[in-house]
Amino acid sequence: QRAFSDTLSGVVANIVTLTLTMAVMLSISWQITLLALAMLPLLVIPARRIGAAMARLSREAANHNATMNTQMTERFSAPGATLV
């Protein structure tokens, strides 16, 4: 329940911030505001692709770390230690 209320309050705060920001931008210069909004997709699409690539790389790194951790635990723990 707390997670839901925290998320809901965050969403409401973001909507209020966005609304007020747009109102201020429009009052300063509606032409520049429209230009900025028109350019927004040009920035969002590459950002999403980069975000997806970063998420994939993070998952791969976590998997490699987990594999290495497992091997280290198996080789150097007391029951798994081998005498050479």
Q: What is the pLDDT of residue 4?
A: 81
The torsion angles phi and psi of 51, rounded to 5 degrees, stand at: -60, -40
Residue 3, helix vs strand vs coil: helix
* N-terminal to C-terminal alpha carbon distance within the chain: 56
Q: Is residue 84 part of a domain?
A: no
Number of domains the chain is built from: 1
In a domain, 53, yes or no: yes
79 has pLDDT over 70:
no
- Residue 82 within any structural domain of the chain: no
CB-count exposure of residue 18 (10 Å: 0-12, 13-18, 19+): exposed
pTM above 0.75, yes or no: no
- Look at the block and give the residue holding tokens 């594999």: 67
> In 1-84, which ranges are continuous DSSP H helix?
2-28, 30-76
Q: Answer yes or no: is 81 within a domain.
A: no
pLDDT tens across 5-62, in order? 888 899 999 999 999 999 999 999 999 999 999 999 999 999 999 999 999 999 999 9
Asked if the structure places residue 33 within a domain, the reply is yes
Q: What pLDDT score was predicted for residue 77?
A: 75
83 part of a folded domain:
no
Host domain of residue 32:
2-76
